[in-house]
Amino acid sequence: MNFIKRRKIIAALGLGVSGLATLSALTVLALILWALLSRGLSGLSWQVFSQMTPPPGGSGGLLNAIVGSVTMTALGIVIGAPIGMLAATYLAEYGRTERISVVIRFINDVLLSAPSIVVGLFVYTLMVVKMGHFSALAGAVALSIIVIPIVVRTTEDMLHLIPLGMRQASAALGARHWRTIVSVVYPAARSGLLTGVLLAVARISGETAPLLFTALNNQYWSNTLNQPMANLPVVIFQFAMSPYKNWQSLAWSGALLITLFVLLLSIIARTLSKFIGSSESRIE
């Protein structure tokens, strides 16, 4: 009896501790969100969206940084997402059974977790040194290199969810493989493809390290991709590390904006990916 009681106590203890671990992780998330809201919300006004980054002590907003971030994120997606989707199409369709696909899948998974600062160094050596100056284009290319593995992985997973029967039905009607992919598989996996892109946007819109020495920063408005461009993450970094109160306050507002945007995107992407999992049954 005593033995059984001891086992039950150990069980309750172990499971209780695991519950506490979960609770503490949730607490940390709440603490971070609270800090962002309490410090970021106060500085958040219309001015943040309508004015340029100020000099130390002056007043201003984050307009050029927001526009720069949107520009480079969009460009990064435009370059990276098609490449990623096509690569995933090879892995899931043409090269489904080939040995090289196993290697590519593996390397892609490795790149997925590789440190992003190394991507910055790569693009610096490849583009910035060759061009002779920092530029928004280099920043976008660096971001696109981070986009590719994410899109490859998600897209491939999603294409695998499309039942083989649909491809066979298309082939039976006389469609070539490419016609099947473009007219049957892609439309069926549409929400899945979108999930990959959204996840990639969520990931790169907060990326700082690859932009530090590619796009650098720019205190002013920039309307050419050939020049350094302001962007939210690097502005947050620079402003937070500065001793000026108005810069620090803007850094918190920027941080709040990025976090809300990224978390919202993650939630949307998650919902979308659940949608594809349930609506198109996994027959295969």
Which residues from 95-134 bind another protein, rule CB under 8 A? Answer: 95, 100-101, 103-104, 106-119, 121-122, 124-126
- C-alpha pair distances (Å), 243 with each of 45, 53, 238, 247: 22, 16, 10, 8
Single out the residue of 58, 78, 133, 177 in contact with another protein (rule: CB under 8 A): 177
Q: Say whether residue 24 binds another protein (CB under 8 A).
A: yes
Least distance to another protein from the beta carbon of 51, Å?
21
* Residue ranges in 132-161 that form contacts with another protein under rule CB under 8 A: 145, 148-150, 152-154, 157
Q: Quote the least distance from Cβ 229 to another protein, whole Å.
A: 15
User: Under the criterion CB under 8 A, does residue 80 sit at the interface with another protein?
Assistant: no
Instruction: Compute the distance between CA of residue 140 and CA of residue 155 in angstroms, rounded to an integer.
Output: 21
From start to end of 73-153, where are the E strands? none
Task: Please pick, from the candidates 73, 203, 229, 231, the single residue that binds another protein as defined by CB under 8 A.
Answer: 203
Q: Is 209 in the site for another protein (CB under 8 A)?
A: yes
Binding segment for another protein (CB under 8 A), chosen from 43-51, 65-73, 183-191, 233-241, is: 233-241
Across 19-30, b (16+ Cβ under 10 Å) vs e yields eeeeeeeeeeee
The tokens describing 268, both together, are 């949307």
Query: 114-139 burial string, b = 16+ CB within 10 Å, else e?
Result: eebeebbbebbeebbeeeeebbbbbb
DSSP state for residue 281 in the 8-state scheme: -
Task: Say if CB 104 and CB 91 are below 8 A apart.
Answer: yes
Part in contact with another protein (CB under 8 A); list of ranges 25-33, 44-52, 59-67, 184-192: 25-33
| Least CB distance to another protein at residue 237 (A) | 6
**Residue 255, interface with another protein (CB under 8 A)?**
yes
Among 142, 161, 233, 276, binds another protein (CB under 8 A): 233
* C-alpha dihedral, 110 to 112 to 118 to 124, nearest 10°: 120
Q: Is 35 in the site for another protein (CB under 8 A)?
A: yes
Residues 45 to 74 in contact with another protein, rule: CB under 8 A: none
